[in-house]
């Protein structure tokens, strides 16, 4: 008889407590079960100490010397203590006393949980050979059942007591227990719900797989500890751990596909377990760069998204024949899945390194992100307002997509999805007017940038600083060079012709090529390769944004732009900018420019510096001469680092438009209307960690009027509906 079997007869019910405790200490299972029954009648400190004594004494006996009754009593004591919240107490102080004693005995508790997971039950008292640990791969049966006993026991212990749950993750034994439950497989599939028929009460069975929940608690509280044990390789290699994690997520996507869970209904959804897997993975990816790279390399974020999309499809399909009660549960599940989706984006995709966030977000969109959002919103009947939390989740997901829309890989599928949903008037837009307003407000800029997705409409820049512009280019503002060719050694500079390559080689590239080659190899290894096509796209957006600001603001902008570099951050908002005096600008940003590019930076800035000196001696009416130089500094954020562009522009025309908002002028097509500016030269560099350059800089806000800053110049903002919220600009 064990604790997990119903106690039909208590043979020692009438015996004195001391006699029962004495029998239990002599490894009598019947006496120990009588103590269990008495704890459910009324708590006794003597019983607690007796059970703890059995637990700790049994843990001291080597397995090769332990008798069957000792092992059985040890595991029963473990189960009793893990269920301490089921005991009957008369005062809260008694519960606190039990918690304190259990925290002192956590090592012994972990010992018996480990025994249940890794060792088969003893078969005879005469066996003296060392017990053999079971392999990771298990077969359905008693060994799998014992894993379930351990998982449920540890789960009840941790989730019944906040103090214990806080202390346990500090123990490597508990971290290893959680990892054991995570990586053990049955039939090649992860062990989930090891009990085909659960022995726990129904309210426990409804909250998810206990092994998954235990691991989530450990990973949340000690992600670095879990990562350290994974790298130790005691249970499996780091890559196997990552693959088993992905397999666990996919298994929960359709639970009844596992052999021992085929009795589950086809529409079974494990939202709690799915959320725990995403949360655990996100914590580990944030804590350990190596595991983060492995999760990224196996495309874990998009694979998780595919599972969530498939779950949502099944949930929505079951709505047609659902009862009113079931409809409420389905709506709740859809909302929970939306929250889990946000975690996949923010805690997994966005924490990957290099340019991986861009790739993952593109794949997440292609996996059906917007269809998932549509499914969630569509289940609400027209008169029913969307839940506030759902509206918030939709907003943050959309904001993340917009933030990375400055990259062609994300912009292309994002623009396609938004255009499609605007055309069909999808539930996502018709039932969430706030999100619809944001999308409609953002679409002009997205469409304008979408034109730059076509290679023919991107600017072409040559890295030869002595490049000569033809007279036709100066008049029309159009740049028409052949497709640039990169340096075959460093792959870091491009030229429009052999003549430009020869000139730049003699003037500066000969001395910098070797260092740029090493820099290129290092960036390639860390997934920081920055292809010219993406660079040209970014420069096209910067040029269009700068020109739109000049056309919208007018003389106020163009007058200041002759003297002070303009700082912009298009990924946050296109309509805001900051003028910084050149001396303060160079002092602020030059330390962050790599040494191998510092000469190029000085050569690029020199024409603008010379222009400032020249204009300083001329009266104001002379400022209107063309052509003239402008210096723009633009920043794009990619998760863990920033991309900086220093762009020298030449103003070749002076178009005057009727007064209009930025969002209207940004739709202007330079291909048909011509451009007032051309890019003379551009320099890019990365900074990491993110926004490390931003100390002491004033925040870019969106005030209605002009705001003066003594040190950094002026912020000139447009009276536009699309304004940056102050709280979103925390770092500058």
Peptide bond into 22 cis (omega under 30): no
DSSP state letters, 338-406: HHHHHHIIIIIGGGSSTTHHHHHHHHHHHTTHHHHHHHHHHTS-TTSPPPHHHHHHHHHHHHHHHHGGG
Q: What is the pLDDT of residue 257?
A: 60
| Residue 536 to residue 528: CA distance in whole angstroms | 16
Q: Tokens 């593109």 — which residue?
A: 362
Average of pLDDT values for 416-421?
Answer: 93
Q: What is the pLDDT of residue 593?
A: 93
Q: What is the pLDDT of residue 115?
A: 93
Q: CB count, 10 Å around CB of 456?
A: 7
Q: What is the pLDDT of residue 575?
A: 67
Percent helix, strand, coil in the chain, to 5, is: 60, 10, 30
Lowest mean pLDDT among 183-187, 345-349, 498-502, 712-716: 712-716
Closest listed residue to residue 486, CA positions, set 530, 423, 425, 431 = 530
Q: Please say which residue of 133, 167, 197 terminates a domain.
A: 133
- Judge whether 691 and 731 are in contact, CB under 8 Å: yes
* 91: in domain: yes
CA 242 to chain centre: 16
Provide the angle, in degrees to the nearest 10, between the axes of the packed helices 408-424 and 369-378. Answer: 30
Q: Please say which residue of 112, 133, 154 terminates a domain.
A: 133
* 78: in domain: yes
* 429: in domain: no
pTM of the predicted model as reported, rounded to 2 decimal places: 0.83
Strand order across the beta sheet in which 137-138 lies = 137-138, 185-186, 189-190
Q: Which residue has the higher pLDDT, 155 or 125?
A: 155
* 294: in domain: no
Number of domains, the chain: 2
Structure tokens at 706: 């002009």
Average of pLDDT values for 637-656?
Answer: 88
Q: What is the pLDDT of residue 496?
A: 83
Q: Where are the alpha helices (DSSP H) in 526-581?
A: 532-553, 555-561
Percent of the chain with pLDDT strictly greater than 70: 83
Q: What phi and psi, each to the nearest 5 degrees, are found at residue 684?
A: -125, 155
Helix, strand, or coil (residue 628): strand
Lowest mean pLDDT among 151-155, 267-271, 364-368, 533-537: 267-271
Q: Where are the alpha helices (DSSP H) in 463-622?
A: 471-476, 498-504, 510-525, 532-553, 555-561, 582-589, 595-615
* 394: in domain: no
Q: How confident is the model at residue 475 (pLDDT cuts 50, 70, 90)?
A: very low
Q: What is the pLDDT of residue 207?
A: 67
- Condensed to tens digits (0 to 9), the pLDDT of residues 688-710 reads 888 888 764 544 433 332 222 22
- Judge whether 567 and 698 are in contact, CB under 8 Å: no
Q: Please say which residue of 113, 133, 153 terminates a domain.
A: 133
- Judge whether 647 and 609 are in contact, CB under 8 Å: no
* 408: in domain: no
- Judge whether 651 and 624 are in contact, CB under 8 Å: no
Average of pLDDT values for 8-24?
Answer: 80
| Residue 340 to residue 372: CA distance in whole angstroms | 11
- Condensed to tens digits (0 to 9), the pLDDT of residues 424-474 reads 888 888 888 888 888 888 898 899 899 989 888 888 778 887 665 444 443
| Cα–Cα separations (whole angstroms), residue 31 to 83, 318, 375 | 18, 51, 57
Q: What phi and psi, each to the nearest 5 degrees, are found at residue 9?
A: -135, 125
| Residue 361 to residue 345: CA distance in whole angstroms | 7
Q: Where are the alpha helices (DSSP H) in 26-161?
A: 29-41, 45-60, 68-82, 92-104, 106-118, 142-159
* 472: in domain: no
Peptide bond into 358 cis (omega under 30): no
Q: What phi and psi, each to the nearest 5 degrees, are found at residue 573?
A: -165, 135
Indicate if the pLDDT at residue 144 is higher than 50. Answer: yes
Average of pLDDT values for 300-317?
Answer: 91
Buried b / exposed e over 702-732, threshold 16 CB at 10 Å, is beeeeeeeeebbbbbbbebebbbeeeebeeb
Average of pLDDT values for 663-686?
Answer: 86
Q: Tokens 């703890």 — which residue?
A: 52
Average of pLDDT values for 211-224?
Answer: 94
- Condensed to tens digits (0 to 9), the pLDDT of residues 240-264 reads 999 999 999 998 887 656 655 655 6
Average of pLDDT values for 156-164?
Answer: 93
Percent of the chain with pLDDT strictly greater than 90: 42
Contacts of 437 (CB under 8 A, 6+ apart): none
CA 199 to chain centre: 36
CA 306 to chain centre: 16
Indicate if the pLDDT at residue 478 is higher than 70. Answer: no
Provide the angle, in degrees to the nearest 10, between the axes of the packed helices 238-253 and 289-297. Answer: 50
Indicate if the pLDDT at residue 119 is higher than 60. Answer: yes
- Condensed to tens digits (0 to 9), the pLDDT of residues 382-404 reads 545 667 788 888 989 998 898 89
Q: How confident is the model at residue 42 (pLDDT cuts 50, 70, 90)?
A: confident
Instruction: Give the range of the structural domain holding residue 670, as residue numbers without chain letter.
Output: 532-728
| Residue 210 to residue 194: CA distance in whole angstroms | 9
Q: How confident is the model at residue 622 (pLDDT cuts 50, 70, 90)?
A: low
Q: How confident is the model at residue 587 (pLDDT cuts 50, 70, 90)?
A: very high
Average pLDDT, the chain: 82
């Amino acid at each position: 008889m064990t604790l997990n079997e119903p106690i039909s007869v208590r043979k020692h019910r009438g015996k004195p407590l001391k006699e029962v405790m004495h029998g239990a200490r002599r490894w009598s299972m019947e006496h120990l079960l009588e103590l269990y029954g008495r704890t459910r009648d009324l708590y006794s400190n003597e019983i607690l100490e007796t059970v703890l004594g059995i637990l700790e004494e049994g843990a001291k006996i080597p397995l090769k010397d332990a008798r069957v009754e000792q092992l059985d009593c040890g595991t029963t004591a473990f189960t009793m203590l893990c269920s301490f919240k089921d005991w009957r107490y008369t005062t809260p102080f008694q519960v606190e006393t039990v918690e304190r004693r259990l925290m002192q005995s956590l090592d012994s508790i972990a010992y018996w949980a480990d025994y249940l997971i890794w060792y088969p039950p003893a078969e005879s008292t005469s066996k003296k050979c060392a017990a053999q640990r079971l392999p990771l791969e298990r077969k359905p049966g008693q060994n799998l059942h014992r894993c379930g006993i351990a998982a449920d026991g540890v789960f009840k212990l941790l989730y019944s007591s906040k103090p214990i749950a806080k202390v346990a993750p500090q123990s490597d034994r508990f971290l290893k227990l959680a990892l054991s439950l995570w990586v053990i497989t049955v039939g090649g599939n992860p062990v989930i719900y090891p009990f085909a028929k659960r022995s726990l009460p129904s309210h426990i069975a409804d909250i998810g797989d206990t092994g998954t929940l235990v691991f989530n608690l450990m990973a949340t509280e000690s992600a670095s500890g879990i990562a350290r044990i994974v790298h130790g390789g005691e249970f499996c290699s780091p890559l196997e751990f990552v693959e088993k994690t992905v397999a666990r997520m996919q298994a929960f996507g359709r639970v009844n596909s596992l052999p021992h869970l085929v009795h589950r209904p086809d529409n079974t959804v494990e939202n709690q377990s799915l959320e725990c897997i995403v949360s655990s993975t996100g914590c580990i990816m944030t804590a350990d760069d190596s595991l983060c790279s492995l999760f990224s390399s196996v495309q874990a974020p998009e694979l998780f998204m595919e599972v969530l999309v498939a779950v949502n499809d099944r949930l929505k399909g079951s709505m047609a024949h659902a009862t009113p009660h079931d409809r409420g549960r389905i709506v709740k599940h859809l909302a929970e899945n939306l929250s889990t989706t946000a975690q996949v984006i923010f805690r997994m995709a966005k924490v990957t390194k290099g340019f991986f966030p861009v790739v993952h977000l593109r794949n997440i969109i292609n996996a059906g992100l917007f269809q998932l959002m549509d499914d969630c919103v569509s289940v609400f009947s027209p008169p029913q307002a969307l839940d506030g939390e759902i509206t918030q989740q939709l907003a943050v997901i959309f904001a993340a997509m917009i933030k990375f829309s400055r990259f062609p890989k994300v912009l292309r599928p994002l623009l396609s999805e938004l255009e499609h949903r605007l055309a069909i008037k999808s539930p996502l837009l018709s039932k969430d007017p706030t999100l619809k307003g944001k999308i409609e407000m953002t679409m002009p800029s997205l469409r304008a940038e979408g034109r730059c997705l076509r290679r023919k409409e991107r600017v072409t820049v040559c890295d030869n600083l002595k490049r000569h512009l033809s007279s036709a280019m100066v008049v029309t503002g159009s740049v028409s060079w052949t497709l640039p060719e990169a340096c075959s050694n460093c792959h870091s500079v491009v030229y429009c012709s052999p003549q430009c390559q020869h000139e730049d080689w003699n003037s500066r590239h000969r001395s910098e090529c070797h260092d740029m080659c090493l820099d290129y190899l290092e960036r390639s290894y860390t997934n920081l390769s920055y292809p010219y096509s993406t660079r040209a796209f970014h420069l096209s957006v910067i040029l269009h944004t700068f020109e739109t600001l000049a056309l919208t603001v007018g003389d106020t902008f163009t007058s200041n732009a002759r003297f002070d570099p303009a700082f912009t951050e298009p990924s946050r908002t296109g309509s805001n900018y900051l003028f910084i005096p050149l001396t303060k600008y160079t002092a602020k940003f030059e330390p962050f420019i790599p040494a191998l590019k510092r000469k190029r930076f000085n050569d690029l800035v020199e024409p603008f510096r010379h222009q400032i000196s020249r204009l300083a001696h001329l009266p104001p009416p002379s400022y209107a001469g063309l052509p003239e130089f402008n210096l723009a500094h633009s920043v794009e954020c990619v998760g863990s680092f920033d991309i900086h562009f220093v762009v020298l522009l030449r103003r070749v025309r002076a178009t005057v438009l009727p007064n209009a908002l930025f969002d209207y002028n940004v739709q202007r097509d330079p291909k048909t209307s011509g451009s007032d500016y051309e890019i003379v030269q551009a320099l890019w560099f990365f900074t990491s960690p993110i926004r490390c350059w931003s100390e002491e800089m004033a925040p870019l806000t969106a005030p209605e009027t002009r705001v003066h800053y003594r040190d950094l110049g002026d912020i000139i903002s447009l009276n536009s509906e699309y304004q940056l919220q102050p709280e979103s600009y925390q770092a500058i």
